[in-house]
Chain A
């Protein structure tokens, strides 16, 4: 529904679907493939209706063969198509990781620049629905580790609406993380929202006391925390990394130079993580700007347990962010 400010309310799910529809309409080379994207309507109902609209040549249901169809997407990309390959969730992407890491990310380099791979690989990530230890992974860091890939994390509705369209313009492989826990969330986007740029991080809320640097579901949790903190007179800035590879470090470094404090928030496990990378870059490049050590709030290092009370405490919640920031500022 459009309102006077010319914004519309939309769910995260619908935003992705609109992007898919735009992409399929705009370029005949684009096709969507993955498990249950067609007849089932998408495991998360994201592509519901697209089969009827575009037909089975463009909305291809694949068997359970992750390595096979991701590899086929890579092949189709090097041969002139623009495949959007959906791997239902990041949990299953491990079966395709060889294709992504050893083929998509390397063919350009190994061929001395002759063979580029314009494939877009989308996958759902994250937790929050009591799906236990094999269905709750946050593995952005695995892919962010790989030179040759571009890795995007859609932490807002605008990015859910626009990142895919930008990714399809890239000559190189792009992995887009979408978040299961956010699919039903309503958000506001400009009525004419479409493609977004995919080079830069974004400041989602300006503040002067501390920089919360995060991505994915960390974004809305951090904004929620920042609102709470504002009631206490604490003015937090929220940085949404958006592009996990290559990192836009100038954005968060600039933010830290302004606030002099940083808290990095992610749902993923702490060791060898994105937050570890952010923290060390701040240390390397903005150490003398800091008034406090860089802090991190990450997922507890345990395979995700099923019961809700254990799942809830396995990842940082808005309340944890509030408490941690109160502590950091008192410890000045």
Chain B
């Protein structure tokens, strides 16, 4: 990172990345305490992608994501307490506890989930963007997915449809080099995912996903392109997950040295160092940020703990829409 950065803006992005990191570490801890169950996919190491991309989005823009979406939801401003309560399965959760970790929703924040079928949300994102086009709204849609998903037919169909119909959709591929245990080189004949854009005539670029400033800049450029042309854009963020795929992963497919090597590029440390070097922050300010983050995470856990279980009589609610009380 050679750039300089506005002090407050830098601090705000640092805070968000630190919040995601601490939230995820806490979630892992709570998983071992069996407070959180099901599948839990952590975003540790990839924070710069969610936080960087989010800088390019406006409150009216739509977001769709995967089962590894806690970071996206937090960066979007979904309340941490409601996210934690969701992972506990409490009815105060952002999806009433029905969804759990993989299905965070907050329609008010235009955050349309948390999809656990790999690639399943890509065609939906095309449709969400298509609606904005038909409504002549300036709204952009942003869709996060992994490089593994780019091997699915649904990725290719969605790329084609988005370009064919010229819809305002930002495809954000989080290339963390692995799809569960399958390394990029075993899943793609053409491992430069950004080159796949050209098959559809879609503009694309790849960016260092460990550098939040680079991600932010690329996302802003891509979003401007989309808003001015109405056409989709493929942004590939090259990143790395520091932790296992999920809590059930023995990580037989990669060695510790590789992980340690990537940890040297920790996006949080990088931004911290930049802010320290340019004199925008000092050690005291960083420890103050740390304690603010800690307080926020503790508050989220407290909220989840205090939450309540949905009554069993409600089991079959939300299978169909309920009549509105007028």
Chain A residues close to B by CB (< 8 Å): 35-36, 39-41, 43, 45, 48, 61, 63-68, 91-92, 95, 129-135, 300-303, 305-310, 313-314
Q: Roughly how many angstroms separate A61 CA and B319 CA in the complex, as a whole number?
A: 37
- Specify which of B39, B180, B249, B319 is in contact with A135 (CB 8 Å cutoff): B39
Q: What is the CA–CA distance of A45 and B248 in the complex, to the nearest angstrom?
A: 10
**Which of A48, A67, A135 has the largest count of B CB atoms less than 10 A from its CB?**
A135
Q: Which residues between 35 and 77 of chain B lie within 8 Å of chain A, taking CB atoms? A: 37-39
B306 at the binding interface (Cβ < 8 Å): no
Partner of A305, one of B98, B119, B183, B186: B98
Interface residue from A40, A43, A48, A302 paired with B319 (Cβ < 8 Å): A302
- Partner of B181 from A40, A134, A308 at Cβ < 8 Å: A40
Could you tell me which residues of chain B, from 79 to 122, have a CB within 8 Å of some CB in chain A?
89-90, 97-100, 102-103, 115-120
- Beta-carbon contact of B252 and A39 below 8 Å: yes
Find A63's partner among B115, B151, B181 (CB 8 Å cutoff): B151
CB nearest to B117 among chain A residues: A134
Question: In the bound complex, do residue A64 and residue B100 qualify as a contact, i.e. CB atoms below 8 Å apart?
Answer: no
Could you mark each residue 4-42 of chain B with 1 if its beta carbon is under 8 Å from any beta carbon of chain A, else 0? Answer: 000000000000000000000000000000000111000
B186–A309 touching, CB < 8 Å: no
The answer on a CB contact under 8 Å between A41 and B250 is yes
Supplied contacts A35-B182, A310-B312, 14 more A-B pairs, CB within 8 Å = A35-B179, A39-B252, A64-B148, A64-B182, A66-B152, A67-B153, A129-B38, A130-B89, A131-B38, A302-B319, A305-B98, A306-B38, A310-B310, A310-B315
- List B contacts of A64 (CB < 8 A): 118-119, 148-149, 151-152, 179, 182, 187
* B316: interface (CB < 8 Å): yes
CB proximity to A under 8 Å, residues B188-204: 188
Question: Is the Cβ of B116 less than 8 Å from the Cβ of A307?
Answer: no
Q: In the complex the two chains form, is A133's CB within 8 Å of B315's CB?
A: no
Which residues of A are found within 8 Å of B38, using beta-carbon distances? Answer: 129-132, 306
A135 and B188 CA atoms in complex are apart in Å by 25
A130 to B182, CA, bound (A): 25
**CB-CB < 8 A to B153: which residues of A?**
65, 67-68, 95
What is the distance, in angstroms, from A271's C-beta to the closest C-beta of chain B? 12
Could you list some 26 contacts between A and B, CB below 8 A?
A35-B179, A35-B182, A40-B180, A40-B182, A40-B249, A48-B252, A63-B151, A63-B186, A64-B149, A64-B152, A64-B187, A65-B152, A95-B117, A130-B89, A132-B98, A132-B100, A135-B39, A300-B316, A303-B319, A305-B310, A305-B315, A306-B89, A307-B90, A307-B97, A309-B312, A314-B315
Give the Cβ gap from A57 to chain B, nearest Cβ, in Å.
14
A222 to B37, CA, bound (A): 27
Give every chain A residue within 8 A of B98 (Cβ-Cβ): 132-133, 305-307, 310
The smallest C-beta distance from A240 to any residue of chain B, in angstroms, reads 28
The 3 closest A-B pairs by CB, nearest first: A40-B181, A307-B89, A306-B100
Which interface residue of B98, B153, B154 has the most chain A CB atoms within 10 A?
Answer: B98
| B residues apposed to A, CB below 8 Å | 37-39, 89-90, 97-100, 102-103, 115-120, 148-149, 151-154, 179-183, 186-188, 249-250, 252-253, 309-310, 312, 315-316, 319
Given A132-B38, A134-B116, do A302 and B316 touch, yes or no (CB 8 Å)?
yes
Complex contact A301–B319 (CB within 8 A): yes
* Other-chain contact of A92, B100, B117, B186 (Cβ < 8 Å): B117
Q: Decide: B116 and A306 in contact? CB cutoff 8 A.
A: no
Residues of chain A within 8 A (CB-CB) of B117 are: 91-92, 95, 134
Number of A-B contacts (CB under 8 A): 123
Q: Do A130 and B319 touch across chains, with their CB atoms under 8 A apart?
A: no
Given contacts A65-B152, A133-B103, A308-B37, contact A36 B97 (CB under 8 A): no
Contact A130/B315 with A35-B180, A40-B180, A91-B117 known, Cβ cut-off 8 Å: no
Q: Which of A48, A67, A309, A314 has the most CB of B within 10 A?
A: A309
Chain B's nearest CB lies how many Å from the CB of A89? 10
Q: Is the CB of A131 within 8 A of B319?
A: no
Cross-chain contact of B315 among A61, A135, A313 (Cβ < 8 A): A313
A61-B186, A63-B182 are known contacts. Are A39 and B253 too (CB-CB below 8 A)?
Answer: yes
Chain A's nearest CB lies how many Å from the CB of B144? Answer: 16
Q: What residue of chain A has the Cβ atom nearest to residue B88's Cβ? A: A307
A134–B152 contact, CB under 8 A?
Answer: no
List, in ascending order, chain B residues with CB within 8 A of A65's CB: 151-153
Q: Would you call B181 and A36 a contact (CB within 8 A)? A: yes
- Beta-carbon contact of A313 and B312 below 8 Å: yes
Q: Establish whether residues A95 and B152, one from each chain, have CB atoms under 8 Å apart when the complex forms.
A: yes
Contacting pair B253 A130 (CB below 8 A): no
Measured between alpha carbons, how far is A130 from B39 in the docked complex, in Å? 8
Complex Cα–Cα for A133 and B149 (A):
20
Complex CA distance for A218 and B119, rounded to whole angstroms:
32
CB < 8 Å: which of B39, B119, B182 contacts A61? B182
Residues of B within 8 A of A302 (CB): 315-316, 319
Residues of A within 8 A of B309 (CB): 307, 309
**Distance in Å from the Cβ of B198 to the closest Cβ of chain A?**
20
Contact of A41 among B149, B151, B181 (CB under 8 A): B181
CB of A63 within 8 A of CB of B179, answer yes
Q: Which residues of B contact A134 (CB under 8 A)?
A: 102-103, 115-117, 120
What is the minimal beta-carbon distance from B180 to any residue of chain A, in angstroms? 5
Closest residue of chain A to B98 (Cβ to Cβ) is: A305
**Known pairs A130-B100, A133-B98; A36 contacts B89 (CB<8 A):** no
